[in-house]
Structure 1
Amino acid sequence: MADAKPIEKTYLSVPYEQREAAKAAGALWDNKQKAWFARGTDVPDSLKPFLAENQPEPSREDPRTTFGKFLRDNGAELQGLPEMDGKWHRIALAGDGKETNASYRGFLDGVPNGQFKNFKGDDVPLQWTGTGDALTAEEKQKLTAEAAQNREIRERERAKEQQATAKRAFGIWTNLSTWATQDNCPYLGRKQVRGYGVKLADDGRMVIPLRDDTGRIWSLQFVGDEKTYLKHGRKDGLYHTIDPNKELEKDREKSDTLTVIVGEGYATGADVHKATNLPTFVAFDGDNLVATAKAVREKYPAANILIAADDDHHLPNRIPPLPNKGLKCAQRAAEAVGGKVLAPSFTASEKDRGATDWNDLKQLRGEKGLLTALRDSFALMQREHARGKDKGLGRELERSR
């Protein structure tokens, strides 16, 4: 389903006792942001008294400023003011550049407070508590409206950037004339996988389109020694489909249930598809697995969805330990869509050699070993769920013998 054009909003600072008057004047409630807003940017005169800039200036320092200083003092790379909505937000560490090694959350309820986790440091989150009394209802309303408006502005700008990147991606993709194969693409040769709907850049990198459920290209991934994307491109909920036999386009009887696979990287997707002949969706990374699985579920509501997991077994062994991201993301994706997880099982020796995904397993054991491991994982999945309803993969594995 194509994205509908979002409604532009101007957020308002409405005291609780004036909510009915604001509603009568045309204000609407945004349950996600927990704030009132007016449609569009041209606010009617009746609602202008509720604009955040028309509220009295607080007599004390903005707690977001103080919390932001706390985060920076403890190593966070924070641009602007922190979000204080009670949710965890990923953030980069100073000089690191990756928004995967730290996170924070802040609260405006009661006395302002917050926490900061540095995944490279102490396992115990650092605690921050504001000084002075709790915020008044008016102060909290003003800060909430300002934060919601700032998010709205950022989202509008991001949407414009993503639209511009989509046009650029389409142009680049259209002008690439060569399909990537194992013979002309070093990455495919190194991974020993086929090229399914991917092209070759002039410098030899593999190029993968990121599409939505309508087939529109929003961005491109370039795969060589590293994996990069077009700057400002959209990724959330987008995927690359591997379905050369057009199984997704076939009409099916009620007894012939569609089974599909969703995995992280291209090499894993190409290998599990070749082994099973099932339509496969590449989510590009673990952080996008849930959104991609949901997009697939929305488009194919009756499908059996299997998540081909990565096993980041090395992360829990770090100091301090980190969660096994591959398995965790796969489990979350399966739970979100009522799917099931196909996880690789590695020997200690294979783990020592750095194996983490299905392609690594294929490289170490060969294609027959991959097929055997997939059968074993599927059998384990069936035993754990004790249902015996998901026959699609079983049939395809039998055909692959």
Structure 2
Amino acid sequence: MMTNPIEQFREAIHASGLTPPEDIEADGKLRRFASNGRRNDDAGWYLIHDDGIPAGSFGDWRTGLAQSWRADVGRALTPAEEAEHRAKVDAMRREREADETRRRAEAAATAEAIVTAATPATDDHGYLVRKRIRANGALLHQGKLVIPMRADGRVHSLQFIGADGEKRFLTGGRVAGCYFSIGNVKGAAVLCVAEGFATGASLHEATGYPVAVAFNAGNLPATAQAMRAKFPDLPLILCADDDYRTEGNPGMTKAAEAARAVGGLVAVPDFGADRPEGATDFNDLAQRCGAESVRAAIGRAMAEYRPDGESHTAGDFASPAWPEPQPLSAKIEPEPYPIDALPETIRAAVDEVAGFVKAPLAMVASSALGVLSLACQAHVDVKRAEKLTGPASLFLLTIGDSGERKSTCDGFFMGAVQDYQAQQAALWKPEVERYEAELDSWSAERNGILEAIKAAGKSGKSTDDLRASLAQLQHAKPESPRVPRLLLGDETPENLAWRLAREWPSAGVVSSEAGLILGAHGMGKDSVMRNLGLLNVLWEGGELSIGRRTSESFTVKGARLTVALQIQEPTLRSFFDKSGVLARGSGFLARFLVAWPESTQGYRPFSEAPANWPHLAKFHRRIAEILNQPAPIGDDGALTPQMLVLTPAAKSAWVEYHDAIEKELRAGGELYDVRDVASKSADNAVRLAALFHVFEHGIGAIGLESFEGASRVAAWHLNESRRFFGELALPAELADAARLDSWLIEHCQRERTHLVGKSFAMQYGPLRKRDTLDAAIRELAELDRLQVRKDGKRATLAINPSLLGFVEGQRCNSANPAKTRRVGYEN
């Protein structure tokens, strides 16, 4: 038995798995050492007293290890010695905790400073290239990747990764319970938890699912518990590293422990019999076997999860009793919003806002595009071909329920426009005040002449001189200064035209309540045709004279208008009923880029606002730069925007896009039923291309890259128009059935099941009223698209399997598929 207490203490440190320091000082002070034996590392700590019964404690800040120690003196301690020892232990604990708190606070402050100074990483960083992954939100600082480690809405520490793969944590920073998020949890079917950043990136890129990166196996349980607290109803999959060469396989052990703690699932990569040396995680699996193998692993784990808690057998799923499902009329499948088609700065800002607001992605993107159109429309027009020119303005219409946060999205992106408008109002305030004073003086003089004319008439005197003075005065009426006012509210179309003609020739109508506009008095049966025609002219950038009986007539010329609206589906249906065929027959709605995204309500857990918005700030800076360029306004008050042309390559792509659509407009073509909308798609595509180009490059010829991204966005909106206008032509009850059918199929494919509880469908599906839901279910049952199965009072919707198209997952190297294990759930 060792009698030297210092040697006993050293042996205890070694037995815990740490590298003990060469020199140990028993002076009762907290000291640090290199727990991994590397120079400049001070993650280890110890504290030892040698007075009385020697006692101490030691640990590692990096792993969270902390142990108390007492020397073996070869006998039992007396009660007094026990009390003295407990007091020492308590004192050491308090000192260690105080030091830990201080170190963590210092590290958090350092981490925040580095995050602020860092820039977004690009995909060409050496480590990312070697791991074949994208940056996924990682930052770059002094040549190293920086991965923020967050918890409770704050950055507590950082992980640094060099191009050669060397990793280190910020000294003194907290690790336990900290994580890095990849992807967006809104609407996700599952949340994955993984050890390393590269593993998490491979999982997200293969599946699209959000991932919480725990940074090491020991932190998996704490990270999983943090995710369970934030998302209590979301299935969690612990994506284990298979550390088959390490004693105890810590990757598997800790993943299983974490899954048991939160009722989660475990997925483990299986490389088959010919496993490459060193292949342990899902990044290795993705590189060697492809993304399909990763998707198969997660898919098999999800196959074991049932949101309604029932046990479903393969025989039940594959029952031969199912008839062939009948088609739903006019049903068009939705497509994912092409976020990657947006210019990089806009895409990053949209992702950043969507991650916090959790509104539908298409709605967030439409808010950004509305601001882009509003900022650029005064400066550029676009030429498609000879004799085919027009504005770059956009009309955007998002169809969604109240509460989808359209106003919130607009608020995030409108910041630069609102600032510009306020700055211009302050700048022009002296001129406005001078004009108002001159107008008051002019009005007083005019009223005096009118009173004199009235008095002369009563007394029989001549009024010729007075009338001549009045005519001369009328020509000297002060003119109001033109103050930029870009954001207009719920204006009637005629008042909107007056403001464009008299106040400022470039403006936008942005509203989350389009019903106030489309349902206004100006859209009544007697005036709807005139006002729809007026808005059509403004979209085209044309000229229109408006005569008034009771006030001054005026002409709108060279004006540009952006419209970005949200409307509820019943309100739009009512507008159609009220306007008859005019809304589509006049081409009004055909000019809109329509979005009809699935609601995210019910899938928006609370999250704290980020401390910084670097991508949104960059978007605002560019919008401000464009707005601060002088608007090209002629003496007549009309805009004279610069005409942008397409490069030869972009022109060829535009012609190809135009002709592909044109071919489908003929009878029997895919776009025949929406030919009014489709005929404007090529025009909208080139408008978007002009906006993308100006935002990214300024004035100049529009390149192929801008047009290709724009055409993808325009094509997506065209598909949305097909979806909506196709279903709008259906009776309301069949349209409801189509909406429910789409939601059920998407939900079942995502969750890898064919059974959905009726109560679950009512709570989370698109139809929240019982009568409406029951009617839609009856429609779908009659079309053999679902069956209603009852067990007592419980009703379950069984979806026809042929609608779901499940495919067996791909295997790695044609060997065994990735293994999945279920922990904590009982079928």
Is residue 2:165 matched to residue 1:223?
no
Is residue 2:103 matched to residue 1:186?
no
Name the amino acid aligned to 2:108: A
1:259 to 1:381, Cα distance in 2 relative to 1, 3 A: closer
Choose the corresponding residue for 2:261, options 336, 347, 351. Answer: 336
Aligned-residue offset at 1:66? 7.0
Choose the corresponding residue for 1:368, options 248, 271, 292. Answer: 292
Q: Deviations over 1:211-249 (max 9, x none)?
A: 1132x1111111122111111111110000112xx434x
Counterpart position of 1:67: 8
Contact 2:269 2:282 in 1 (8 A): yes
Q: How does 1:292-371 map to 2 (within 5 A)?
A: 292-315=223-246, 322-350=247-275, 352-371=276-295
Aligned-residue offset at 1:96? 10
What is the alpha-carbon distance in structure 1 between the residues aligned to residue 74 and residue 214 of structure 2? 47
What is the alpha-carbon distance in structure 1 between the residues aligned to residue 113 and residue 141 of structure 2? 13
What is the alpha-carbon distance in structure 2 between the residues aligned to residue 380 and residue 345 of structure 1? 18
Aligned-residue offset at 1:307? 0.4
Q: How does 1:158-197 map to 2 (within 5 A)?
A: 158-177=100-119, 179-183=120-124, 185-197=125-137
Counterpart position of 1:156: 98
Q: Deviations over 1:185-236 (max 9, x none)?
A: 1111111112211112232x2111001132x111111112211111111111
Q: How does 1:1-400 map to 2 (within 5 A)?
A: 67-68=8-9, 70-71=11-12, 77=20, 130-177=72-119, 179-183=120-124, 185-203=125-143, 205-214=144-153, 216-224=154-162, 225=164, 226-243=166-183, 246-248=184-186, 259-315=190-246, 322-350=247-275, 352-376=276-300, 378-379=302-303, 387=311, 394=752
Contact 1:276 1:393 in 2 (8 A): no
What is the alpha-carbon distance in structure 2 between the residues aligned to residue 202 and residue 288 of structure 1? 27
What is the alpha-carbon distance in structure 1 between the residues aligned to residue 297 and residue 190 of structure 2? 19
What SS does the corresponding residue of 2:274 show, helix, strand or coil? helix
Aligned-residue offset at 1:398? 6.2
What is the alpha-carbon distance in structure 1 between the residues aligned to residue 289 and residue 281 of structure 2? 12
Contact 2:198 2:283 in 1 (8 A): yes
What is the alpha-carbon distance in structure 2 between the residues aligned to residue 151 and residue 64 of structure 1? 20
What is the alpha-carbon distance in structure 2 between the residues aligned to residue 283 and residue 334 of structure 1? 14
What is the alpha-carbon distance in structure 1 between the residues aligned to residue 228 and residue 237 of structure 2? 11
CA RMSD in angstroms, aligned pairs only: 4.1
Aligned-residue offset at 1:345? 1.1
Aligned-residue offset at 1:93? 7.8
Aligned-residue offset at 1:136? 2.1
What is the alpha-carbon distance in structure 2 between the residues aligned to residue 397 and residue 193 of structure 1? 29
What SS does the corresponding residue of 2:290 show, helix, strand or coil? helix
What SS does the corresponding residue of 2:81 show, helix, strand or coil? helix
Name the amino acid aligned to 2:225: K
What is the alpha-carbon distance in structure 2 between the residues aligned to residue 288 and residue 336 of structure 1? 13
What is the alpha-carbon distance in structure 1 between the residues aligned to residue 110 and residue 197 of structure 2? 22
What is the alpha-carbon distance in structure 1 between the residues aligned to residue 310 and residue 252 of structure 2? 21
Contact 2:192 2:210 in 1 (8 A): yes
What SS does the corresponding residue of 1:262 show, helix, strand or coil? strand
Name the amino acid aligned to 1:180: A
Count residues in correspondence: 286
1:156 to 1:186, Cα distance in 2 relative to 1, 3 A: same
What is the alpha-carbon distance in structure 2 between the residues aligned to residue 397 and residue 292 of structure 1? 34
Contact 2:200 2:211 in 1 (8 A): yes
Greater helix fraction, Structure 1 or Structure 2: 2
1:95 to 1:170, Cα distance in 2 relative to 1, 3 A: closer
Contact 1:276 1:397 in 2 (8 A): no
What is the alpha-carbon distance in structure 1 between the residues aligned to residue 168 and residue 805 of structure 2? 33
What is the alpha-carbon distance in structure 1 between the residues aligned to residue 85 and residue 198 of structure 2? 46
Contact 2:193 2:200 in 1 (8 A): yes
Counterpart position of 2:777: none
Contact 2:241 2:282 in 1 (8 A): yes
What SS does the corresponding residue of 1:348 show, helix, strand or coil? coil
Contact 1:206 1:222 in 2 (8 A): yes
Contact 2:197 2:213 in 1 (8 A): yes
Name the amino acid aligned to 1:323: G
1:394 to 1:62, Cα distance in 2 relative to 1, 3 A: farther
What is the alpha-carbon distance in structure 1 between the residues aligned to residue 83 and residue 6 of structure 2? 17
What is the alpha-carbon distance in structure 2 between the residues aligned to residue 388 and residue 98 of structure 1? 53
Counterpart position of 2:512: none
Q: What stretches of structure 1 of length at least 5 have no aligned partner? A: 1-60, 82-90, 100-111, 113-127, 251-256, 316-321
What SS does the corresponding residue of 1:301 show, helix, strand or coil? coil
1:345 to 1:140, Cα distance in 2 relative to 1, 3 A: same
Aligned-residue offset at 1:360? 0.1
Which structure is higher in RCO with an 8 Å CA cutoff and minimum separation 6?
2
What SS does the corresponding residue of 1:306 show, helix, strand or coil? strand
Name the amino acid aligned to 1:268: T
Name the amino acid aligned to 2:287: Q
Aligned-residue offset at 1:137? 2.5
What is the alpha-carbon distance in structure 2 between the residues aligned to residue 279 and residue 266 of structure 1? 13
1:356 to 1:393, Cα distance in 2 relative to 1, 3 A: farther
What is the alpha-carbon distance in structure 2 between the residues aligned to residue 397 and residue 269 of structure 1? 28
What SS does the corresponding residue of 1:342 show, helix, strand or coil? strand
Name the amino acid aligned to 2:266: V
* TM-score relative to the length of structure 1: 0.61
Q: What stretches of structure 2 of length at least 5 have no aligned partner? A: 27-33, 43-53, 55-69, 314-746, 754-803, 811-827
What is the alpha-carbon distance in structure 1 between the residues aligned to residue 266 and residue 156 of structure 2? 28
What is the alpha-carbon distance in structure 1 between the residues aligned to residue 134 and residue 77 of structure 2? 60
Counterpart position of 2:316: none
Higher mean alpha-carbon deviation, 322-331 vs 273-282, is at 273-282
Name the amino acid aligned to 2:136: Y
1:95 to 1:296, Cα distance in 2 relative to 1, 3 A: closer
